[in-house]
Amino acid sequence: MDIPYTTHTLPNGLDVIVHEDRHIPMAAVSVWYHVGSRHEQPGRTGFAHLFEHLMFKGSAHHPAGYFEALQEAGGLVNGSTNTDRTNYWEVVPSQSLELALWMESDRMGHLLPALSEEKFTTEREVVLNERRQNYENRPYGLSSVALAEALFPPDHPYSWVTIGAPADLVASNVDDARQFFRAFYHPANASIAIAGDVGTDATLALVERYFGDMPAGPAVVHPRREARLAAPARLVLEDRVELPRLSLAWHTPAMFHDDDAAMDIAADVLSNGKTSRLYRALVYDTRLAADVSALQASREMSSVFHVSATAAPGQSLAAIHEVVERTLDALAATGPTTDELERATARAEAQFVYRVQTIGGFGGKSDQLNAYNVFTGSPGFIHADRERYARATAASVAAAVRRWLRESPGVALSVVPRGQAELGLPGAVPVHPA
């Protein structure tokens, strides 16, 4: 599990991490910007995700698309955005490392000269269409929007989904985008990790050559806000669905907290596999539900624990809710069994192993080094991260479930077919997410 690495920070603030892995003649480049949708403002949402698109559309010295040039060199390319960060990565034959670094440096330092009104408008329409496909036109797609709006006050940075609100995107213009880029996409707010068949000194020299002359950029203030519900909430959302679905959500601690790991284990015990508690109780034994899932969605400021179950034909959400409540009460009382805890911690350990089996991409070694560096300041935090799971006991998991799911209020969202609001939980208030 040890990932040996060398770190260096350029005078402009860019963190550089290099890991040598000579097993195959490939190199992985990962660039993380510490900016996500939480760095936006109410009424001006969607820019972080929009830039995930714009950053692939060319820069001053390479005005064509980024995918084609790197794919022609035999590379893989992608990127993603969430509430807390944006990342871009390439995995290329090691002789093409310089090409990947040059292209990353050009879009970090010279994107704006190539950002035309036409490119901005085109990609904004692409994002609006993506929003329609993944939210408005997808069954249950608006449930995540409704939950975010219910869990957080309107001015909280987690109260909107990463893709942004349609009205905000329509109202935005290219000058807004340029201002957002200048504020966040610069060396002092970035970290670059290179892993694979590379030499440390030569790689640091390349990074210095291509990134060293860029200005640091303005200081970035990363929002820090807690959020707690004053009282439980029951909501009902009418959607174009055939079967009702119950989604439950609670506030939980931020990533890397010990209770964050405990809630991850609780989610595994509740819904991972056909022997899990909620699957047995809802799908196998009673056939109340067609499916069930539980997830600890870990984030930098605070996390959210989700339970979701789709009703089987003819079954009620009230009956499902009653079973979920009983199951959570039992887990809060005694915690997982010895077998459940061993399985959950073994699966967690396996995930750590899987993530270091490749040099790059989503979850590879370069990605892990960057993630730990951006969020903890220590690229080698993987050992402390693993220890959180090793420390977990039946008592600590039970205590976390009591603290966050039993003693703290949550949101219960019923998603029902249009015109059938009565299928929601009793007392649910209608919602119309933006």
One domain, residues 117 and 53? yes
In a domain, 92, yes or no: yes
CA atoms of 88 and 77, how far apart (whole Å) = 8
Mean pLDDT of the 149-162 span: 97
Mean pLDDT of the 77-104 span: 97
Predicted local distance difference test score (pLDDT) of residue 236: 98
Residue 1 pLDDT > 80: no
Predicted local distance difference test score (pLDDT) of residue 222: 96
CA atoms of 325 and 244, how far apart (whole Å) = 18
% residues pLDDT > 90 (the chain):
98
pLDDT band at 83 (very low <50, low <70, confident <90, very high): very high
Is the separation of the CB atoms in 49 and 35 below 8 Å? no
Mean pLDDT of the 139-158 span: 97
In a domain, 217, yes or no: no
pLDDT band at 434 (very low <50, low <70, confident <90, very high): confident
One domain, residues 310 and 250? yes
Per-residue pLDDT tens for 23-36? 999 999 999 999 99
Phi-psi region of 377 (alpha: psi -120 to 50; beta: other; left: phi over 0): left
Number of domains in the chain: 2
CA atoms of 17 and 124, how far apart (whole Å) = 33
Element (DSSP H or E) covering residue 50? helix 47-54
One domain, residues 37 and 128? yes
Predicted local distance difference test score (pLDDT) of residue 64: 86
% residues pLDDT > 70 (the chain):
100
CA atoms of 83 and 126, how far apart (whole Å) = 20
Residue 9 pLDDT > 90: yes
Predicted local distance difference test score (pLDDT) of residue 65: 83
Q: How far is CA 146 from CA 101, 138, 253, 428, in A?
A: 40, 14, 21, 13
Residue 181 pLDDT > 80: yes
In a domain, 305, yes or no: yes
Is the separation of the CB atoms in 376 and 85 below 8 Å? no
Residue 280: how many other CB atoms lie within 10 Å: 15
pTM listed for this prediction: 0.95
One domain, residues 298 and 333? yes
Per DSSP, the three-state class of 29 is strand
pLDDT band at 326 (very low <50, low <70, confident <90, very high): very high
Predicted local distance difference test score (pLDDT) of residue 257: 97
Quick one: CA dihedral 340, 342, 343, 348, positive or negative?
Answer: positive
Predicted local distance difference test score (pLDDT) of residue 226: 85
Mean pLDDT of the chain: 97
Strand ranges (DSSP E) for 185-270?
190-196, 233-239, 245-252
Q: What is the CATH number of the domain that holds 171?
A: 3.30.830.10
In a domain, 221, yes or no: no
CA atoms of 317 and 105, how far apart (whole Å) = 52
Predicted local distance difference test score (pLDDT) of residue 298: 98
Per-residue pLDDT tens for 273-325? 999 999 999 999 999 999 999 999 999 999 999 999 999 999 999 999 999 99
In a domain, 262, yes or no: yes
Closest CA to 253 of 271, 228, 222: 228
pLDDT band at 154 (very low <50, low <70, confident <90, very high): very high
- Domain finish residue from 176, 211, 246: 211
One domain, residues 25 and 161? yes
Is the separation of the CB atoms in 311 and 414 below 8 Å? no
Mean pLDDT of the 14-20 span: 98
CA atoms of 284 and 290, how far apart (whole Å) = 9
Write the CB contacts of 197 (distance below 8 Å, at least 6 apart in sequence). Answer: 20, 21, 22, 23, 24, 25, 26, 27, 94
- Domain finish residue from 147, 180, 211: 211
In a domain, 216, yes or no: no
Range of the domain at 285: 233-430
One domain, residues 244 and 385? yes
Question: What tokens does 119 get?
Answer: 């490119």
Residue 261 pLDDT > 90: yes
